[in-house]
Amino acid sequence: MRVRVLGCSGAIAHGCRTTSFLLDDDVLIDAGTGVGDLTLDEMARIDHVLLTHSHLDHVAALPLMLDSVAARRLAAGAAPLQVHALPGTIAALKVHIFNNLIWPDFSAIPSVDAPLMRFVSISVGEVLHVGGKAVEVLPAVHTVPAVGFAAASASGHWVFSGDTGRNPAFWQRINQLPVAQLVIETAFSTREHALAQRSLHLDPGTLADELAQIAPGRQYPIYITHTKPAETGQIMEEIQGFDQAPDRPQDGRHDIRWLSAGQTFEL
């Protein structure tokens, strides 16, 4: 399985695109502004979109992408684009985006029976079979209904935390999986700890507490995502500070890396 990082920033700035990952050519995990770097041909090959939650930085490109490829999909007689999300996420998209005020309701265009897009409700613990891939829906703890995902590959699972605060159920589950790579958010620096708590995001201190829940003896690359552009350098310095501290036991250190748009991983 190939994982292409289209966007992994917590906001926009030059060179910063919000969350979106392309699995192989046909499955999109979140639809942030990074989708805009795809060609029309690449967008047209996407058959499934899996959404972690309804916040704008994770869904902003979905209505625009649909508009871009609508004519191609209709001309090709393609099946509706399937958008997989929690019921609460689907409800938010229907009310606030695809409402014929902010954007056309593509779930009823050109007709209700043959639309361009179809919503598919998901639930935590469910294993989705999309594009020949098995993707498990993981728990997340956020200010709106939210999930993470674990996509199975030949070398183990690619795991994405989604936007989340402290999340013991997440660690309980991934400690049972063969993890090849973990992508986990750390949206704020330590100085914004109170804001991180209020918005149910992680900062370096809470990240350290979360990573301490990884089962003993398990090691895999950990990529940091969703950093705010103005704080990315500070966040990574603080993460390296706690993880590479001289008094920290060698077997307690992690392989922590910064994720950037444009990276591609073969799993």
**How wide is the angle at C-alpha 133 spanned by C-alphas 128 and 134, nearest 5°?**
40
The predicted pLDDT at position 249 comes to 64
The predicted pLDDT at position 242 comes to 82
Token couple for 102: 């902010």
The predicted pLDDT at position 246 comes to 64
- The domain spans of the chain are 2-257
CATH topology of domain 2-257: Metallo-beta-lactamase; Chain A (3.60.15)
Peptide bond into 246 cis (omega under 30): no
Helix H or strand E encompassing 160: strand 156-160
Rounded Cα distance, 57 and 11, in Å: 7
- Please report, for the chain, how many H helices and E strands are present, in that order: 8, 14
Mean pLDDT by 10 residues, the chain (267 residues): 97 95 98 97 97 98 97 93 98 98 96 96 98 98 98 97 98 98 97 96 96 94 96 93 70 87 96
Query: Which candidate, 259, 263, 255, places its Cα nearest to that of 225?
Result: 259
Residue 160 burial by Cβ neighbours in a 10 Å radius (0-12, 13-18, 19+): buried
Token couple for 179: 């993890």
Which residues, at least 6 apart from 55, have a Cβ–Cβ distance to it below 8 Å?
A: 144, 163
